[in-house]
Amino acid sequence: MSTPHNSANFGDIAETVLMPGDPLRAKFIAENYLENPKCFNSIRNMLGYTGEYKGKRLSVMGSGMGIPSIGIYSYELFNIYNVENIIRIGSAGALADGVKLYDIVLAQGACTNSNYARQFSLPGDFAPIASFKLLQTAAEAAKKLKAPFHVGNVLSSDTFYDSDSSALLKWKGMGVLAVEMEAAGLYMNAAACGKNALCIATVSDCPLTGEITTPEERQNSFTEMMEIALETAILI
């Protein structure tokens, strides 16, 4: 039961999938955390693996950048491969004053400047939110790991380079914690088919102040985020 974007057969993918944007980070997780990982997809180098973590069968697969890309992969995972839970693990830029470099953001909700919701022909605006079960479990996992984390709203932006230089300040003014590029689309796909989704993001930069992490520092922070996601996955 392959698709144009995924060569996996039905049953090759676990019911819970971790989705980093970068497929090489999916490879890193598979090789460093999963037991007996097997690659189920390499089409377009969007690598996907299934293995075991602490006795539970889990999968990890890249999503690519932006809502259109995660929209394709998450749709197929939910609707074709019967995946029940997708946990996005990626980076975000801090907007709120209390959110610092290396902090973890659990995206309770996802504002967006995308038109992705238009396809559902709703008579109003949809508010994309995370699965409370996943959110609550991730918060508990972060506490156990003593990781600094924040729970709240993020912005899923279609524009990495925005011609409106004041746009992020406006979102900050509405209490948005951080900006990333995928969560809203993932949450909408999950809602449309009655599945569960959560975005866990590491703060890699602060676009309003110019602060940014080094590649080495990002690797350490991303590892912490991966461990929160893995612990969440085995508890749900």
Which residues are catalytically annotated? 205
Q: Please answer whether residues 166 and 234 qualify as being in contact, where contact means their C-beta atoms are separated by less than 8 angstroms.
A: no
| SS3 label, residue 2 | coil
Show the tokens assigned to 85: 């839970």
Q: Please answer whether residues 204 and 91 qualify as being in contact, where contact means their C-beta atoms are separated by less than 8 angstroms.
A: yes
| SS3 label, residue 227 | helix
Burial 143-167 (b: 16+ CB within 10 A, else e): eeeebebbbebbbbbbeeeeeeeee
Query: Which residues are within 8 A (CB) of 124 and not within 5 positions of it... i.e. 6 or more apart?
Result: none
Question: How does DSSP classify residue 142?
Answer: H
Q: Please answer whether residues 197 and 88 qualify as being in contact, where contact means their C-beta atoms are separated by less than 8 angstroms.
A: yes
